[in-house]
């Protein structure tokens, strides 16, 4: 057989093999893309990105609320600290006063 014909047959064989493998890969990728689409495509009217944005906005609102609560709790703790200090000072003044008083009996 002529070497040119052999080269043409070999090249043609490689070409056919490449086409066959390419089609198999396209089908496989198509199945994977469909599986991915099934995971991210909503089955209702709203867009997934819009849904995620609403959830993120809600989380941000919760975070801001938590920060506000933390500030309020810090204020309450400060109020309690001051109250304890004032009570302790009052108790100390009362103890000093009681020590200086003589029984009248």
Query: Residue 96's domain spans which residues?
Result: 60-105
| One domain for residues 69 and 103 | yes
pTM, full prediction: 0.45
| One domain for residues 35 and 64 | no
Tokens 């993120």 belong to residue? 56
| One domain for residues 73 and 105 | yes
Q: Is residue 50 part of a domain?
A: no
| Integer Cα distance of 10 and 1 in angstroms | 13
Tens digits of residue pLDDT in 23-46 = 888 887 877 787 777 767 666 677
Q: What percent of the chain has pLDDT over 90?
A: 41
Element (H, E) at 104: none
| One domain for residues 33 and 72 | no
Tens digits of residue pLDDT in 59-102 = 999 999 999 999 999 999 999 999 999 999 999 999 998 888 87
């Amino acid at each position: 057989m002529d070497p040119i014909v052999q080269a043409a047959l070999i090249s043609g064989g490689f070409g056919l093999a490449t086409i066959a493998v390419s089609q198999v890969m396209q089908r496989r990728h198509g199945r994977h893309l469909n599986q991915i689409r099934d995971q991210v495509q909503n089955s209702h009217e709203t867009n997934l990105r819009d849904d995620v944005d609403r959830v993120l906005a809600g989380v941000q609102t919760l975070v801001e609320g938590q920060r506000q609560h933390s500030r309020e709790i810090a204020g309450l703790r400060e109020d309690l600290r001051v109250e304890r200090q004032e009570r302790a000072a009052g108790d100390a003044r009362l103890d000093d006063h009681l020590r200086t008083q003589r029984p009248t009996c």
